[in-house]
Chains A and B, each alone.
Chain A
Amino acid sequence: MALQMIFCLEANKQSASDYVYIRDTINRFYKLNNKIKIAPIYMNGKSNYNSTKVAREIKRMTKDYIMGETVVLYCIDTDAYESNAEQAKELDVISSYCHNNGCELIWFCHDIEEVYVGNKVPNNQKVKIANGFRRSKGIENILEDRLLSDGKRKGYSNILIVLDKYLGRK
């Protein structure tokens, strides 16, 4: 059965460095074939997770994909959920939204750069750092355990736990 995986990303298209790490993760760990379609939706900010624009785009892509099932995966930075109540609440709300709407939540603690590069990166450096990560094949040096976490910890993510449900490992 064919499957469409829609990755909803926090970034906008001009600074889509998040997607570099996600695609490198998929390419390192999973076998892809022509029955799997992977597509991003750039939300232009985490708070737009339930915006009309994003919802409309998901609906359109799901409707157009008549060859099989569609799964929607929100890729969200946890940010300082332990110390910032507002950010913790936002994460909870998105988590509930995913649960209630049959979507998956992929989280990165505290953000995607912390998981893949090891530290926070200023916004204006994100594409440059992703460029270096890709060029140096940084994904090969990431410990698998860091991407297989079922609990939130600094520098960890649940991405492989979620993707394992849908994709076959290499």
Chain B
Amino acid sequence: MQNMFYLLNLTVSGVKNLKKEVRLDFYKKTIDKNFDPQKYRLKAIYGENGSGKSAIVTAVKIFQDLILNDNYLSESKNQSFLEEIINKETKEFKFNCEYMFHVESQKTIYNYTIYLGKNDNDQYEIKYEKLIQKNGNYPNNNYKTIFECRNGEIENIELEDADKDYVVKKTMNLLSSKSLVYLLIANLKKDAAKTGKDDSYKELIVNIIVSLTFVIMIKVYLAEEDQHELYFLRKRIKESGIDKELIGKGLLELSESINAYSGVDERKIEKSDYKKYEKMVGQLTDFIKIFKSELVSIEIDKRDDGDQYICELILNYGGYRVNKEFESTGIKKLIRLYDCFMAASTTGIVFIDEMDSNLNDVYLCRLIEYFMYYGKGQLCFTTHNLDPMTVLKDNKNSIEFLSSDNNLVQWTTRGNSSPDNCYRNGMIEDSPFNIDATDFIGIFGE
């Protein structure tokens, strides 16, 4: 499968203690015909406890949920979550990302922005959403607006009048609670995107499908992760009668294939996906065997439940079998991370919070080396483990230090100094680590 998407940068603010904007760059400033992301695909974010590393990953998850989950802002549990997670002072969540869609030599760069703020009822709602696009083959090209919404109304959308009326009618009173990207897919005009029909609507829908597929490509690992329901959106795209040629057969295949990679750790598996799931569990077995050579197989204990199977994983060690739920914390973590690693090894854009927790240092470094030399996707992770720096320092833009006052400092080569030593000794800008063993005198002990 061709890697069609590349996340170029993202900027977030207003999550947890991230008050100021933090921008992560995943490539050089300029995109040209010699685009080669090989040395930029990996990024490790380091920072003191509470510096906001997890906040960045959480922001990506919120962005993804806002687009893929139609009821995200309507559900009280999500409102409660946002109440806790959005910065208590700014009360405003801001997310912006720039991503590239490339097929053969054609590169298109999209820039998406979404802001959340509070309404009169003290609930979070979408205050602003914008999608712009430019041709990425030439660095000096200007952006063209695809749509722009402010305070629940469409301010600007590139459509002919009749189509604009249709979109305005279908999205009326909904734009504060749902993203326009989602609403356009949910309200696709049947057959309207066929070749030869209305050009501006067709162009809009193609851009929206590209953007939606990009969002689906992102995989976020947080300590407590909810599963997304992507079936509805995928079904709408399939039912819309969009010509495969119009948006590229590869993109549709990519969108469909994501399901197969969306969760070896999931319990409910569609019967139509079961064969793919079985294959995935086979690959998972090979993966876990690297760490536990005594593992013989991973068996699927499945129960029939209408169109789905309820599945449990049982790890067979020859003489005994262990339900996945009762496995060691480390093995359970590896099983959960497997999907992320699979995505990062192929075409996915993966964010993992605290990748090192419960993972042996040596395993961690070998995994990172694998992604560095053999992976095809993007992998951005937070960690406290300094060992991966020795591997990542040979890459570009791959080590970032986040300070407690939200300044992101990128590692740049300093003669013979190693990034881990500099960091450990407080020699990275804004991360002085003014902590000493004597600080604990009087706290512990008699």
Is A55 among interface residues, defined by CB-CB distance under 8 A? no
Given A34-B404, A36-B434, A37-B434, answer yes or no on A131-B441 (Cβ-Cβ < 8 Å): yes
B438 adjacent to A64 (CB under 8 Å): no
| Contact bitstring A36-60, B, C-beta under 8 A = 1, else 0 | 1111100000000000000000000
A34 adjacent to B442 (CB under 8 Å): no
Is A170 among interface residues, defined by CB-CB distance under 8 A? no
A39: chain B residues at CB < 8 Å are 425-426
Q: Which of A2, A4, A32, A37 has the most chain B CB atoms inside 10 A of its CB? A: A37
| Contact bitstring B39-55, A, C-beta under 8 A = 1, else 0 | 00000000000000000
A85: chain B residues at CB < 8 Å are none
Q: State A33–B442 Cα separation when bound (angstroms).
A: 24
A13: chain B residues at CB < 8 Å are 437
Of the candidates B431, B438, B441, the one whose C-beta lies within 8 Å of that of A34 is: B431
Of the candidates B405, B426, B437, B446, the one whose C-beta lies within 8 Å of that of A33 is: B405
Given A34-B432, A38-B432, answer yes or no on A131-B442 (Cβ-Cβ < 8 Å): yes
Is B105 among interface residues, defined by CB-CB distance under 8 A? no
A37 adjacent to B441 (CB under 8 Å): no
Is A17 among interface residues, defined by CB-CB distance under 8 A? yes
B438: chain A residues at CB < 8 Å are 16-17, 19-20, 23, 130
B437 adjacent to A16 (CB under 8 Å): yes
B86 to chain A, nearest CB (A): 24
Q: Count the A-B residue pairs with Cβ separation under 8 angstroms: how many?
A: 63
Is A94 among interface residues, defined by CB-CB distance under 8 A? no
Q: State A34–B405 Cα separation when bound (angstroms).
A: 8
B22 to chain A, nearest CB (A): 15
Is B445 among interface residues, defined by CB-CB distance under 8 A? yes
Of the candidates A16, A34, A134, A135, the one whose C-beta lies within 8 Å of that of B430 is: A34
A95 to chain B, nearest CB (A): 26
Of the candidates A16, A61, A64, A67, the one whose C-beta lies within 8 Å of that of B417 is: A64
B442 adjacent to A23 (CB under 8 Å): no
Given A16-B437, A64-B417, answer yes or no on A37-B432 (Cβ-Cβ < 8 Å): yes
A17 to chain B, nearest CB (A): 7
B435 to chain A, nearest CB (A): 10
B422: chain A residues at CB < 8 Å are 64
A99 to chain B, nearest CB (A): 27
Interface size on B, residues (CB 8 A): 25
Q: State A34–B432 Cα separation when bound (angstroms).
A: 6
Given A37-B426, A39-B426, A134-B441, answer yes or no on A32-B434 (Cβ-Cβ < 8 Å): yes
A36 adjacent to B432 (CB under 8 Å): yes
| Contact bitstring B406-423, A, C-beta under 8 A = 1, else 0 | 010000001001000010
Is A66 among interface residues, defined by CB-CB distance under 8 A? yes
Is B367 among interface residues, defined by CB-CB distance under 8 A? no
B161: chain A residues at CB < 8 Å are none
Q: Specify the chain A residue showing the minimal Cβ separation from B444.
A: A131
B427 adjacent to A17 (CB under 8 Å): no
Q: Specify the chain B residue showing the minimal Cβ separation from A26.
A: B434
A130 adjacent to B432 (CB under 8 Å): no
A64 adjacent to B429 (CB under 8 Å): no
A130: chain B residues at CB < 8 Å are 438, 441-442
Q: Specify the chain A residue showing the minimal Cβ separation from B445.
A: A131
Is B439 among interface residues, defined by CB-CB distance under 8 A? yes
Q: Specify the chain A residue showing the minimal Cβ separation from B443.
A: A134
Q: State A60–B434 Cα separation when bound (angstroms).
A: 18
Q: State A32–B433 Cα separation when bound (angstroms).
A: 12
B436: chain A residues at CB < 8 Å are 19, 23, 40
Q: State A36–B427 Cα separation when bound (angstroms).
A: 11
Is B403 among interface residues, defined by CB-CB distance under 8 A? yes
Tell me the residues in window 164-222 of chain B with beta carbons closer than 8 Å to chain A beta carbons. none
Given A19-B436, A32-B434, A40-B436, answer yes or no on A127-B425 (Cβ-Cβ < 8 Å): no
A132: chain B residues at CB < 8 Å are 442
Q: Residues of B with Cβ closer than 8 Å to A?
A: 403-405, 407, 414, 417, 422, 425-427, 429-434, 436-439, 441-443, 445-446
Known contacts A19-B438, A34-B404; 10 further A-B pairs (Cβ under 8 A): A13-B437, A32-B434, A35-B430, A38-B432, A67-B429, A130-B438, A130-B442, A131-B442, A131-B445, A135-B442
Counting from the closest, the 7 A-B pairs by CB-CB distance are A134-B442, A37-B432, A34-B430, A135-B442, A19-B438, A64-B427, A67-B429
Sample of 26 A–B contacts (CB below 8 Å): A2-B429, A16-B437, A16-B438, A19-B438, A20-B441, A20-B442, A23-B436, A33-B405, A34-B405, A34-B407, A34-B431, A37-B427, A37-B433, A38-B434, A39-B425, A40-B436, A61-B425, A65-B427, A66-B414, A66-B427, A67-B427, A67-B429, A130-B442, A131-B441, A131-B442, A135-B442
